[in-house]
Amino acid sequence: MNSIVIIGGGHAAAQLCAGLVEAGQGARVHLVCEEPCEPYHRPPLSKTFLKSVEEATQPHKAADWYRDAGITLHLNDAAVSIDRATHTVALRSGAVLPYERLVLATGTRARQLAGLSTSALDNVVSLRAAEEAQRLRTRLMAAQDVTVLGGGFIGLEVAATAKALGKTVRVIEIAPRLLGRAVSPELSAHVLATHRAAGIDIVLGAKVGAFETEGGRLVSIEVDGAKLPVDLLLLGIGAVPETALARAAGLECADGIVVDAHMQTSDADVLAIGDCTRFPDRRAGRPLRLESVQNANDQARTATATLTGASKPHDVLAWFWSDQGGLRLQMAGLMPAEGTPGLHTVRRPGPGANPNAFSLFHYVGDQLICVESVNAPVDHMMSRKLLEARRNPDAATVADAAVALKTLL
| Residue 303 pLDDT grade (very low, low, confident, very high; cuts 50, 70, 90) | very high
Q: Please check whether residue 227 is in contact with residue 220, taking contact to mean a CB–CB distance below 8 angstroms.
A: yes
Q: How many other C-beta atoms can be found within 10 angstroms of the C-beta atom of residue 69?
A: 18
Torsion of CA 250, 252, 255, 257, to 10 degrees: -90
CATH number for the domain that contains residue 360: 3.30.390.30
Q: What is the average pLDDT across 55-76?
A: 97
Residue 186 lies in a domain: yes
pLDDT tens-digit series, residues 21-31: 999 999 999 99
Q: Do 275 and 379 fall into the same domain?
A: no
Q: Do 250 and 226 fall into the same domain?
A: no
Its domain, for residue 157, covers: 111-235
Residue 192 lies in a domain: yes
Q: Do 94 and 130 fall into the same domain?
A: no
Q: Do 205 and 142 fall into the same domain?
A: yes
Q: Please check whether residue 304 is in contact with residue 16, taking contact to mean a CB–CB distance below 8 angstroms.
A: yes
Supply the DSSP string of 145-202, one letter for each residue. EEEEE--SHHHHHHHHHHHHTT-EEEEE-SSSSTTTTTS-HHHHHHHHHHHHHTT-EE
Nearest-angstrom CA–CA distance, 97 and 106 = 17
Asked if the model's pLDDT at residue 61 lies above 90, the reply is: yes
Q: Do 93 and 207 fall into the same domain?
A: no
pLDDT tens-digit series, residues 93-141: 999 999 999 999 999 999 998 878 788 899 999 999 999 999 999 999 9
Residue 319 lies in a domain: no
Q: Do 200 and 267 fall into the same domain?
A: no
Read off φ and ψ for residue 207, nearest 5 degrees.
Answer: -105, 105
Number of domains in the chain: 3
Strands 270-272 and 277-281: unpaired
Residue 13 lies in a domain: yes
Q: Is 214 exposed, middle or buried (0-12, 13-18, 19+ CB in 10 A)?
A: exposed
What letter would DSSP give residue 46? Answer: G
pTM for the full predicted model: 0.95
Q: Do 248 and 198 fall into the same domain?
A: no
The reported pLDDT for the residue numbered 40 is 97
* CA gyration radius, the chain: 22
Mean pLDDT of the chain: 96
Helices (H), 23-80: 48-51, 63-69
Q: Do 299 and 346 fall into the same domain?
A: no
Q: Do 100 and 247 fall into the same domain?
A: yes
Nearest-angstrom CA–CA distance, 28 and 331 = 37
| Residue 353 pLDDT grade (very low, low, confident, very high; cuts 50, 70, 90) | confident
Residue 315 lies in a domain: no
